[in-house]
Structure 1
Amino acid sequence: MHKILVVSDTHRKDENFYRVIDIEKDVNLIIHCGDTEGSETQMQQLSTAPMRIVKGNNDFFSNLPDEQEFEVWPHRFFVTHGHRYLVNMGSTDIRREALVRGADVVIYGHTHKPVAAEIDGIYVFNPGSLSYPRQEGRKPSYLILTIDDEGELTYEIKYLELF
């Protein structure tokens, strides 16, 4: 069984990231969809699990990769910040790219609005933002993905309570 924590758009305001890693136990992998704004090294050092981080449109001086592709059996993941795929206009372009890459899971950030759906056989996820949420209610959000021993993927968008 794999438990994956997905976050995005922390914008160097990292307190909520650290709250989430205290809340979510037994995480095997943490995916950050970009816009760390320079705090990726500290996040990796304080993380409770291995991290995969991509560069966002505000990570100006970062050496992070723009995109990552990897497998968590039996799923193939495509992770990117999303700004190069017009995600503010919907998921059509990024889903098309996932299909071209042979991925059945695409994860992105950028919009600061959570998304969790399966569309035409492709899982489309955006964890929203832990620092500057833009969806109705504006609660910081993140995503938990679980892949069981048979390879079935389940997902849940979670929200942090504001103090």
Structure 2
Amino acid sequence: MSQFGELVLLIGDLHIPQRAVDLPEKFKELLVPGKVQNIFCTGNIGCREYSDWLKGLASSVHIVKGDFDENTTIPESKVVTIGDWKIGLIHGHQVIPWGDKEALGNLQRQFDCDILISGHTHALSIESLDGKYFINPGSATGAYSSITPEVKPSFIIMAFQGNDATLFIYELVDGNISVNKAQFSKS
């Protein structure tokens, strides 16, 4: 555990090499082994090299199957508990319309989780509804999306301490890393 609490990397939609050549170099410099305890990946990694890379970053790695993932052993969804928080993880192609908060709310209630993490849209978003939280870390590579014309490469690191969660939101904007912060509290 770090001074910030238990750290979780939220990442997904890399699509390497199908839609992106590589992870941005500036992200690679930040994402090194031993910095986070957990990884939640929304799928569509693309190649085994990056799947193995993710597994080398932390001791606890949770990956769900994206609509482009060919590995049939990857689960469609997962629910994991970290501290006081119950977290659901899906790719997001199962949600219709894609990224719809009401549809995500239905899945959140089905999983009975405090936070639902999904991807698929490649658009970074952090929202709440009825005291529950919905996070999409976007695409770590900025891979093409048919529903979002301008995709900024992004990922999120969450720090869990008791009933509080702090999000550090990393985006690549004009070649520079932008970091923003958000906080959640569990009632």
TM score, norm. by length of structure 1: 0.85
1:90 maps to what in 2? 100
2:39 maps to what in 1? 30
Distance 1:133 1:116, change over 3 A: farther
Measure the CA separation in 1 of the matches of 2:94 and 2:132.
19
The number of residue pairs the alignment matches comes to 162
Q: Going by fraction, where is helix more abundant, 1 or 2?
A: 1
Deviations 1:50-101 (A, max 9, x none): 2110000001343211100110111111100011112525121121111122
Instruction: Identify which of 14, 23, 26 aligns with 1:16.
Output: 23
Identity %: 22
In structure 1, the gaps of 5 or more residues are: none
2:160 maps to what in 1? 147
1:4 aligns with 2:18: no
Distance 1:153 1:89, change over 3 A: closer
Instruction: Identify which of 120, 127, 134 aligns with 1:110.
Output: 120
SS in 2 for 1:83: coil
1:125 maps to what in 2? 135
Deviations 1:5-43 (A, max 9, x none): 100101124732785354157311111101113425422
Measure the CA separation in 2 of the matches of 1:57 and 1:137.
21
1:160 aligns with 2:172: yes
User: Which fold has the larger relative contact order, with Cα–Cα distance below 8 Å and residues 6 or more apart in sequence?
Assistant: 1
TM score, norm. by length of structure 2: 0.75
SS in 2 for 1:85: coil
For the pair shown, the structure with the greater C-alpha radius of gyration is: 2
SS in 2 for 1:82: coil
Does the CA-based 8 Å contact 1:6-1:127 persist in structure 2?
yes
SS in 2 for 1:16: coil
